[in-house]
Structure 1
Amino acid sequence: MVSTIKRKSLGFLNLKESDYLGKGRERACYIHPEDNDKVIKVVYKSSENLNQNQLEHNYLSFLEKKGVSFSHLSKCFGFIQTNLGEGYIFNRIKDFDGKTSKSFKYMVLNGVLSPNLEIELLNELKRYLIDNNIIFVDIALSNIFCQEVSANKYKLIITDGIGGKRTGLKSKLYLYSKLFTKYKVKKQLKRLEKRYQKVIKEGILKKTRLVSE
């Protein structure tokens, strides 16, 4: 379970270029300068109906109120003001040895795990999303991290892309219509499977993954 999801700002931080990790279509991600176990997502490209921090906050708050387990979701700790704008704090996904976990895309692309283990982990994640009726709307494998929880024991954790993409009717239906959400969950999981197969082919073409896999 997520510890707290606060809308109230938790203070102010000065983010530097050295804290930068990467960026998506709307948000940039930084290492928390005062806590190496956390990251901060800052919106760098916003619009009236597209603010991923607020949308994610609304959806995570909704899941928390429902008592949903956050076992396969990155835990969040509230908002904070930064020199680059308002940020949303999440835990940084790390392996049991303290190293930063790799994305599932990296693991699949490079054939790090056996095909059977990949499928087992992916099926476990799918069951979690179905059982808890959670929308994984941006199904990129780079939004899933593969955490080594103990030696050779792994778990997939979604770090981005849940809930709605923009403010509107669909984002409200995800909160208030179980029937629509169930339909959307199943639809997205089919897309996730196709994306997984696409990354496998990409790895084979790049010769980073064995053809026999």
Structure 2
Amino acid sequence: MELLNEHYLGQGRQKVVYRHPCDPNLCIKIPKAKPRLLKSLKREIKYLKRHQQKLQFLSNYLGEIETNLGKGYLFSLICDHDGAVSKPLESIYSELDGLGEKVASMYQSLLKNKSAVSELEPCNILVKRWENGDYELYIIDGFGNSDFIKVCDFSRIFLKNKLTRKFRGLCELLDLPQSFLD
């Protein structure tokens, strides 16, 4: 698969993301050339495989693909009703009504399904807009348990503490109520 500059969507600290040249509903994440970053991506994929069927707000992992830039990882591309790539929460959160309820619902769903997040940041959450003005939040990065000793995978108490800490930080960044964390 040949990826060109015209397919480039963006990049974070660990990965560069391209739109799939043949399927507009997919993106390809290429890890930056550091071995520890590949380890992080593999860990995230492991958790996605385990949880993506239960959690509707995850970008689905669909497999590996060879590209001219190295091994790539296929994910569903989150797009708005008009086909535009959805925007990150960090850039539009002040425009959104009901954001506190959506974030609280995500927290409850992660807790119910015993799912951890490693980096719950506004840049790792996309806002998919529907034609009727409603929207959904999607986690596109930072999913899974990055702890060295993965106690959260086996203890609901530790998982709840971790999720509460992560969501408290997100709510503080976005100036959202935190009453759902009590």
* TM-score range for the pair, normalised by the shorter chain length: 0.7 to 0.9
- In the alignment, what sits opposite 2:47? 59
Query: Structure 1, residues 139-193: CA drift from partner, whole Å, max 9, x if none?
Result: 210111111234111111111111144xx623x4344444432321222111221
Matching of residues 82-121 of structure 1 within 5 Å: 82-108=67-93, 111-114=94-97, 117-121=98-102
- In the alignment, what sits opposite 1:148? 129
One of 46, 66, 81 as aligned partner of 1:81:
66
Query: Structure 1, residues 69-98: CA drift from partner, whole Å, max 9, x if none?
Result: 131111111111112121111111112232
Query: Structure 1, residues 105-140: CA drift from partner, whole Å, max 9, x if none?
Result: 1112xx3223xx222222222222222222122121
Q: Distance in 2 between matches of 1:183 and 1:118?
A: 22
Is the 8 Å Cα contact of residues 124 and 142 (structure 2) preserved in structure 1? yes
Q: Secondary structure at the match of 2:130?
A: strand
Q: Secondary structure at the match of 2:162?
A: helix
Runs (5+) with no aligned partner, structure 2: 177-182
- In the alignment, what sits opposite 1:33? 21
Measured at CA, do residues 34 and 174 of structure 1 come closer, stay the same or move farther in structure 2, by a change above 3 Å? farther
Q: Does 1:173 align with 2:171?
A: no
Relative contact order, CA 8 A, sep 6+: which one is greater?
1
Runs (5+) with no aligned partner, structure 1: 1-12, 199-213
- In the alignment, what sits opposite 2:33? 45
- In the alignment, what sits opposite 1:72? 57
Taking only the aligned residue pairs, the percentage that are identical comes to: 29
- In the alignment, what sits opposite 1:18? 6
Measured at CA, do residues 104 and 57 of structure 1 come closer, stay the same or move farther in structure 2, by a change above 3 Å? same
What TM-score does the superposition give when structure 2 sets the normalisation length?
0.85
Measured at CA, do residues 123 and 181 of structure 1 come closer, stay the same or move farther in structure 2, by a change above 3 Å? closer
Q: Which runs of 4+ in 1 moved over 6 A?
A: none
Count of aligned pairs between the two proteins: 176
